[in-house]
Chains A and B, each alone.
Chain A
């Protein structure tokens, strides 16, 4: 943003020719056709979801009909009944939900604690911790999954839900988000509390934490979504069917012997996607802010 001064200067080299500025409303008004283009683009973006939902209500034979039917000739819930009665989708759904809620809760607690310490407190080792956390932001999951598997096998956590949760309880992303947010809180608040004789931990839990509400909530939603969609580690650590999360179960059905049962797989996709879309649509303002915040700051 340092160029704000330079840019207009070079552009107004010929000051005489400068016309009086037009009305802002007119000069930067929106061309009508742009709305048309945006609408067409939006349709292209959401078609896969619409097609997914519509097709999941077709009987298996109709799903694979060539040419396809646009609207189910026989609306049926047979695919969903199959998922929930013959396959173990309620179990997978529950596993996914437990893991995602636990991961979100853990990040909300641990990241705000460390985020506050990094933003407002002085302590030995602070720089090292910050550098370490910063350094692992770029580490892909594929780098850690083999040693993690060895670790979980030796401490008896392979094929357990805690084994899926623990490695994701302390994520670097959350520390950044929370540190960034706490930095924006005024120091005077903490000084005043100290003068009043409040202990350091008390200051965090009863003054800072309540003020962090919006940031903590954003972090919770974002980590919930990431965990719900997480794939590689659950795929590795869940070795028996009763521990599968939804994406693992769906992926293994899609490449296994059910690969051609499109009706079933699409219904499964609906079960994975729709709860998340619902959460997103309700909380979208908060999520968008969180993403824009981590991107710009």
Chain B
């Protein structure tokens, strides 16, 4: 499905702060896999997602989607078949437009944005149904601007919007990190439901180890641009939060030791 081959990524090239984050990095995601990615800050999780989506360029290597080379394809063209939900709930919706208008926009993804009417009354029942499934009472007043919704409601809407049209790939960038625990739980359940129902291949970056263990079919731990743990289906089922925490600490300790040695 998705293949990253020999990826190179440097930050601040040509300066004293030059940092080689990825060096010959390989990563393959199979069809309908739900990969959860964890790792400390600066481990390259978000860079990985940005490179897949085309938000940042790679310095070397290839990105293939279904065997097709998309390395040079601009971000907006890739997002035709990729849905993305960001950490910040404001990124996935338009605050100044109403719920219906937002859904109409999302519903039109992949089609031309011409001079036809922006909202299609015939689609309203479908939108209402989709809103009802979120179970947040949003279907009651679909004509209020999205800016008036809470962060959790907006994130639920963003999730709905990004999966409204048929997409091949869903990218979740710490999409529950900015929410309170209760809401985060709900968004996570909703995510799981959508991913399973539609059978979308998914990569989810999270800081919540429990989510990483509970959800998904494969778990990857990143550290300094490398995969330090990769458990797919069987291995993942036996995995417990504590095991990951141990590994996590081990890496951090190792890192601290390395740092001390350098001093």
Is the pairing of A and B real?
no
> Which residue numbers of A lie inside 8 Å of B, CB to CB?
none
